[in-house]
A = this chain, B = another copy of it.
């Protein structure tokens, strides 16, 4: 491994350049912005690394970029799941530099996707390159599946995986995200919550109406307010009938892991400018809520006049975007059906419900051998105790790989707690990026020997 590590250190600057190149290519799946160009750029970078590539173009939706390289001495296959699409950069005025500039400031690369997921993708590709360039081979067969719709719930990935079940077959999968915590411990994530994203829309009169007419003109903003209020109350209880009925409580082995997760509560509150967490949750209770409670979030809403000062109108239309984070064994299909029924039964037939992407929750058992392998590698590379999250609060199409490919999935990566994922000023610390590349390289080696 020494040659490989030496190659990584010697070429760190070039790795950073490659990442910046990728960050500078916008790829906002929510808006369909720069998708095709980004997929082509990912394929080009894969080819530069030395992978055999293909672009899988589904009938509908964004392409998946596939890459692979065979090992000369191992039958084992490790698959990396990543994505080249990114979250929208808004609110743009809160960025300290252009959201697609890839500027370096104080040792960090800034830009939407720098951490999630372009940084991790490049780190993995460069780990593979480091083997190919120094030893002319990889310790195990390597496959890359790079999604273009992860940030919108991967609506077309299921059909792609089903169609390419053989091509994507693997013995283990490294998932797209991860990094170190505030104390520098590497984190392993063995599961993901599910997600269901929806938009609620209400229409009133055919145009904005002078608000003097309020006693007669239905107000979509009020209708939306009351509909939202019927979905969740001030105690954070989700009021949709049957919402909680399929929630499976964590096992004692999982709870044991949760209790060992360090939780830098004060630092996190400070960073977010919060005096208290929601409902004054604290300690293990907060952590358990974060990992095991389903949630319902207003992501955004708009109606009527939102400029300076006042404007006396009854708005024509009102809209809210919501996401539901789901835990095993809830499913998005189940929850969507329950939401539709709930609003109908609560007198909100006037609310139009639009479904966006959704994914199911998924997890790999904490006792799986592959989990142990990755944990040991993490401890060796970071020289710190790894932290195991049996379930993670984020979402992704992990359940598709768990169900269709049927192998263990562990998520590790090169992010850090100040990466501002999904927020303005997303960034990746160059030091974390390079260490993360060594981590991935070592996993390739250790997995071959395991």
Spell out A's residues near B (CB within 8 Å): 29-32, 87-88, 90-91, 94, 151-153, 193, 195, 197, 199, 204-219, 221-222, 225-226, 228-229, 232-234, 272-274, 277-278, 281, 286, 289-290, 293, 295-315, 318-321, 323, 325, 347, 356-357, 392-395, 420-424
Chain B residues, CB < 8 A from A310: 30, 152-153, 197, 199, 299, 321, 323, 356-357
A304 to B218, CA, bound (A): 25
A57 to B373, CA, bound (A): 78
Chain B residues, CB < 8 A from A229: 225-226, 229
User: Quick check: A313 and B299 within 8 Å, CB to CB?
Assistant: yes
User: Quick check: A214 and B30 within 8 Å, CB to CB?
Assistant: no
A299 to B222, CA, bound (A): 10
A272 to B29, CA, bound (A): 36
Chain B residues, CB < 8 A from A232: 222
Chain B residues, CB < 8 A from A315: 298-300
Query: 7 tightest A-B contacts by CB?
Result: A300-B304, A30-B309, A206-B273, A221-B298, A212-B393, A300-B305, A214-B295
Copies in the complex: 2
User: Quick check: A300 and B295 within 8 Å, CB to CB?
Assistant: no
Chain B residues, CB < 8 A from A88: 305, 307, 309, 311
User: Quick check: A297 and B314 within 8 Å, CB to CB?
Assistant: yes
Q: Which residue of B lies closest to A309 (CB)?
A: B30
User: Quick check: B206 and A281 within 8 Å, CB to CB?
Assistant: no
A298 to B310, CA, bound (A): 11
User: Quick check: B216 and A290 within 8 Å, CB to CB?
Assistant: yes
User: Quick check: B321 and A422 within 8 Å, CB to CB?
Assistant: no
A222 to B297, CA, bound (A): 8
User: Quick check: A278 and B217 within 8 Å, CB to CB?
Assistant: yes
A392 to B213, CA, bound (A): 10
User: Quick check: B298 and A302 within 8 Å, CB to CB?
Assistant: no
User: Quick check: A274 and B217 within 8 Å, CB to CB?
Assistant: yes
Q: Which residue of B lies closest to A228 (CB)?
A: B225
Chain B proximity of A229: nearest CB distance (Å): 4
Q: Which residue of B lies closest to A277 (CB)?
A: B216
Residue from B31, B228, B306, B420 in contact with A302 in the complex, judged by beta carbons closer than 8 Å: B306
Chain B residues, CB < 8 A from A197: 310, 312
User: Quick check: B422 and A222 within 8 Å, CB to CB?
Assistant: no
With contacts A298-B221, A423-B209 taken as known, whether A30 is within 8 angstroms of B289 at the C-beta atoms is: no
A and B contact pairs by CB, cutoff 8 A, 19 listed: A31-B307, A31-B308, A193-B212, A207-B420, A207-B424, A209-B422, A221-B300, A221-B320, A222-B297, A297-B313, A298-B315, A299-B304, A299-B315, A301-B301, A306-B319, A310-B321, A310-B323, A310-B357, A311-B422
User: Quick check: B273 and A299 within 8 Å, CB to CB?
Assistant: no
Q: Which residue of B lies closest to A282 (CB)?
A: B216
